[in-house]
Amino acid sequence: MKNFFYTLIAFLVLTNINAQIKKPVTWASKVEKVSDTEFNLVMNATIEEGWHVYSQFTPENGPLPIVLEFKNQKGNYELVGKAKESPYKKQFNADFEVDEYYFEKKFTLIQKVKITNPKVGKILLNVDFQVCKDGCINDNKDFSFAIPVIETVAVVAPAADTAKVAPATTVDTTKTEVKAATETVAKVAPKKEEKKGLWTIFFLAFLGGFAALLTPCVFPMIPMTVSFFTKQSKTPAQGKRNAIIYGISIIAIYVVLGLAVTGIFGADALNALSTNVWFNIIFFLLLVVFATSFLGAFEIMLPNSWANKVDRQADRGGIVGILFMALALAIVSFSCTGPIVGTLLVESASKGGIAPIIGMLGFSSALALPFMLFAMFPGWMHSLPKSGGWLNTVKVSLGFLELALAFKFLSNADLVLQLHYFERETFLAIWIAIFGAWSFYLFGKITLPHDSPITHISVGRLGLALTVLAFTIYMIPGLWGAPLKLISAFPPPETYSESPNGVGGSSNGTGEKLPEGAELGPHGIVVFTDYEEGMAYANKVKKPALLDFTGHACVNCRKMENNVWSEEEVLKILKNDVVVISLFADDKRPLPNEEQFVSKSTGAEIETIGDKWTDFMITKYNTNTQPLYVLVDNKGNNLNKVTPTTSYDPDVALYENWLKQGIVNFKK
């Protein structure tokens, strides 16, 4: 009876532990034959409702992407390209200030391999991934793919050798099955961009088209073109109809351009290009060229022969003639519209999907609308301002904006390569210089080659100058660590900086030197990243320790730090009343060989620092989810008796009371 009782207790304890260790992703795998030497390794993942896994293409400085590590590749097989995966969703993450690519419910990975050693027998693969909901779990899955036996012509062999063959294990998946499986992945409906994101692209492109209207190449053509339709048409109705056809033709030309960009690169490829180093460097150079052109150094023009040929076709009349008139407008105005169109295509291409098409639709709609409206209502022509030097001011202003935008692409390349040549302070210094120069230009203190003499500035120009100057002054504190929330998506993150903790970041903010082994964490909190060092210091200063099980790429950890730790009362406690020990479960740095071990709880090999802290969580607190907060005394005992730990919950009052209760228990 006693043995039964102990067995029951042990069963209940183990059941409780298993309930805490979460495994939201389940896997199934198979091998598919492509040819005698090539195979597809197929991994199908099913994700629990509400959880999501991040794609292998997730940008740097964001959540952790899927990583495939092949254990026995050398001399046995070669990888044919990068693993293919199901279409993913894309969403901007304000906490990491990057787009994140993720899967929900299910996804598939397919890695093609070419066998170079026919005796390899099996392929060993480890898939490392992060899965998040209210918390994040850094998990991995080991696969052992048996290489199918390839049927060959029978040969005479000794009976003993024949007996070694196990027919039951023979696999001969046909190419048809491989094709079907590949098509299954391809047929998964591509995830559309968030409607809000596409509307934003359309709106910004529409503004770009409106800006193009106000340039010296386009604006003077409005009255000329409208007059042509009204005078050459036999009736007013015919003039209006032709003007509408003209506007639709303009839209069609630019939308076809967007279709061409999407068709040439492919919607999925554009997503991947957004984090490609060469993509960012090339477009940085392109935008610098466009900006230099707008500032007046030179003009980007298409060959005159193109315009002449198209102009002759426009004389044909009818719908075809009107279409060629629209094409002539696009060619003749290219020196002004080309840089804007190029910039819009660069920006929308980096978003991927149908964004280039939407961008060109927005741009061309703004460009075509005035031609149609003024043809339908000729009386409105008298309300148009006269052409003059203000058109060049618009063009130059666009040049300053394009120059500023160009450095965002250079910053992206530097971030991906982690070169630290173009850190936050450098980026902000360049932007301050660009916008400062723009404000001086608007005030008339700087003149450029094509500017008219300035005797006074208009009220509108003065207003714009003051706005640009105010924005320039706003950015200056960012050089000393100010967050600059208005432009948080543009400069590198605060952690990618010469002074990640602000100027004077080597101290704890009071001028005192940091304790040995400590560093400044979020909001200037002194943190330890090693358990033993942190506990030793907590014992020395006679304070409780807050164990912060976190991750560099843990979304909800950042949310807790940004929204809860930042609150005055909580921040005061974290800085003065406890010793914070942040243990990063996704730290991929390897442990020294002598410190590596096999986990007693899970049987997994503990090879990295992150593995060590994850195993610590599982062994002592029966969970593997971050964030996890535990308040302990100097012997490592929990201080909160009723609720020994707390996890992700943005309730500031709840977190504050939890901290205060633990501190009260420590002092008893």
State pLDDT tens for residues 316-325: 556 776 777 7
150-164, 192-206, 241-255, 562-576: least confident range:
150-164
Angle subtended at Cα 503 by Cα 498 and Cα 504, rounded to the nearest 5 degrees:
115
pLDDT at 632: 93
Name beta bridge partners: 42: 30, 110
**Six-digit token string for 598:** 């096999």
pLDDT tens-digit map of 447-459: 888 888 888 888 9
> Strand pairing partners for 518?
528
Lowest mean pLDDT among 241-245, 568-572, 590-594: 241-245
CA 280, CA 370: separation in Å to the nearest integer?
35
Q: Between 507 and 346, whose confidence is greater?
A: 346
Most confident residue range from 415-424, 475-484, 625-634: 625-634
Q: Is the pLDDT of residue 166 over 70?
A: no
434 forms bridges with which residues in the sheet?
none
**Nearest-CA neighbor of 129 among 111, 141, 117?**
141
Residues above pLDDT 90, as percent of the chain = 22
Q: pLDDT averaged over the chain?
A: 77
Query: Can you tell me the distance from the alpha carbon of 356 to that of 265, in angstroms, rounded to the nearest whole number?
Result: 11
Backbone φ and ψ for 142, nearest 5 degrees, come out as -95, 135
pLDDT at 221 over 80: no
- Which residue reads 């040049």 in tokens? 399
With cut-offs at 50, 70 and 90, classify the pLDDT of residue 307.
low
The more confident residue out of 454 and 464 is 464
Burial class (CB in 10 A: 0-12, 13-18, 19+), 411: buried
**pLDDT score, position 441:** 94
Q: Report the pLDDT value the prediction gives residue 413, as an integer from 0 to 100.
A: 80
Q: What is the mean pLDDT of residues 385-408?
A: 81
The Cα 581–Cα 138 span in angstroms is 19
Peptide bond into 627 cis (omega under 30): yes
What the block records as the tokens of 42 is: 């197929």
Strands 628-632 and 545-550 turn out to be antiparallel
Residue 421's pLDDT band, with cuts at 50, 70 and 90, is confident
What confidence tier does 659 reach under pLDDT thresholds 50, 70, 90? very high
Is the model more confident about 184 or about 518?
518
Locate 329 and state its tokens: 């407008």
Q: What type of residue is 543?
A: K
pLDDT at 666: 92
463 vs 244, higher pLDDT? 463
**What is the C-alpha separation between 270 and 103, in angstroms, rounded?**
18
215: tokens are 């340039």
Among the residue ranges 427-441, 499-513, 598-612, the one predicted with the least confidence is 499-513
Q: Say which DSSP state 625 is in.
A: -
- pLDDT of 426 reads 92
- Between 206 and 98, the more confident residue is 206
CA angle 414–556–630, rounded 5-degree value? 120
Better-scored residue on pLDDT, 95 or 246: 246
Strands (E), 25-121: 25-33, 38-47, 52-54, 67-70, 77-85, 89-93, 98-104, 106-115
Q: What value does the mean pLDDT take over residues 510-521?
A: 78
More confident residue, 331 or 604: 604
- pLDDT tens digits along 34-45: 888 899 999 999
Q: In angstroms, how far is CA 629 from the centroid of its own chain?
A: 28
The pairing of beta strand 67-70 with beta strand 579-584: unpaired
The Cα angle at residue 437 between residues 435 and 441, in degrees rounded to 5: 115
In this prediction, residue 348 has a pLDDT band, given cuts at 50, 70 and 90, of low
pLDDT at 170 over 50: no
- Summarize pLDDT for 246-299 with one digit per residue, the tens: 788 888 888 887 777 666 655 444 444 555 677 778 878 888 888 888 888 877
Q: 9-18, 56-65, 496-505: lowest mean pLDDT where?
A: 9-18
- Report the C-alpha gap between 332 and 322 in whole angstroms: 15
- pLDDT attached to residue 103: 92
187 Cβ neighbours under 8 A, 6+ residues apart: none
Report d(CA 361, CA 353) in Å as an integer: 14
Taking alpha carbons only, the member of 188, 209, 41 closest to residue 114 is 41
Q: CA nearest 103: which of 139, 143, 145, 66?
A: 66
Mean pLDDT score, 58-83? 85
**Whole-number pLDDT of residue 228:** 65
pLDDT, one tens digit per residue, over 134-146 is 778 888 888 989 8
Q: What angle do CA 240, 244, 246 make, to 5 degrees?
A: 115
**pLDDT score of 663 more than 90:** yes
Residue 133 in tokens:
């909901």
The H or E element containing residue 519 is strand 518-520
Lowest-pLDDT choice from 168-177, 440-449, 589-598: 168-177
Percent of the chain with pLDDT over 70: 72
The answer, yes or no, to whether residue 634 has pLDDT greater than 90, is yes
Q: Residue 172 above 60 pLDDT?
A: no
